[in-house]
Structure 1
Amino acid sequence: MLFNTVATALDWLGIVVFAISGALVASRKQMDIVGFALLGVATGIGGGSLRDVLLGLTPVFWVRQPEYLLTCAAVSSVVFFTAHLAHSRYRLLLWFDALGLALFAVTGAERALGAGAAPTVAVAMGVVTATFGGVIRDVLGGEMPVVLSREVYVTAALVGAGAFVASTHLGVSREVAVAVGFTAGFLVRGAALSRGWTLPRYRGRAGRTLDEIERLD
């Protein structure tokens, strides 16, 4: 019972945090209140919607519980009137996004395990839940999707979801598994933001000349 309460609270917190991040993108693009609501809703429920569809959990969660949809719209409307109070909306966006990423990586993986998915699939669903809403937000907001940038983003979601699933299968309590997964995901993403961590990038190399190929033959 306690875990269900904690999981539900984290799910709601993730929805709210991601809705705020979507609305902050709308503020940077100077959209009207409808644009705020659109980006906030799409960011808040986008990843969870794809997760439920892939898991065959239809109708998706916000169709069964429309209060999720209404909450995203309400939170986005509040940001419309308060976004100007933030000194750096982009920096604030990144940290709200990091918090939502860690939360959704765990709740997405937990929802998949609850639906009977294999551990590997649960980790993948955690990553989908944590990242897809941000992709929609960035595309609709005309931003470079953060998953395509040099940011450590998907990796952080993978670490968080993987830590949760691994902890669960090691037999620790679910409350501890949630804490471990959330902490791992948030620390990786937060460290990447603070220290500028990036993964190694592919670097092109000059191809072999015809003479070199002939010598190999």
Structure 2
Amino acid sequence: MRTGVYLAHPRPGSFNHAVFGAVVEELRGRGADVVAHDLCAEGFDPSLTARETGTVEVASPAHDPQVASHRAEVADLDALVFIHPNWWGMPPAVLTGWVQRVLAPGVAYKLGAAEGEPAGLLKATRALVLNTSDTPADREEREFGDPLHNVWAACVLPYVGIREVRRIVFRTVTDSSGEERAAWLEEARRHAASLLGQEALDR
């Protein structure tokens, strides 16, 4: 199983980096073929260019070699994992830009037979989103709803053909203890293993 794991956090040593390392290690330890990207460390440019804005049927060429490489790679994945903090109810800019430049029309989706309905083009059928947050769950639900759930499970991933979306939130991170973080890392490992199927969990 070929899995792409994408980290969006600019600070080395963050808890997001620890989650990223645990997930990659778990998947590789279970025999998965993992392509791992620390988008900030790799210097991924999130700025969508005018030349990349095409139609929903035909992809505009990616003149940036890094974007072209990511587009080719994501088309061959069986599952995707996204790891990022909740910043203002949004993913960090580098990941938002990755979505816009890589999951492009004509690459990741096109319009289907029904007018306005998307048809996903990706091979991947499942995704895992691991978020960190400093907003308590009851306050977020009361004041904001769950904007990141809407981003991933309603707006982005179903559009490209991914119907099985699991999202886990670790909170609140800033005041968490070492024991809590260790437990969260184990939880992240379990959810990563579940991408490979129940047999992976039983091994």
Normalised to the residue count of structure 2, the TM-score between the two structures is 0.27
Greater share of strand: 2
- Of structures 1 and 2, the larger Rg is shown by 1
Greater share of helix: 1
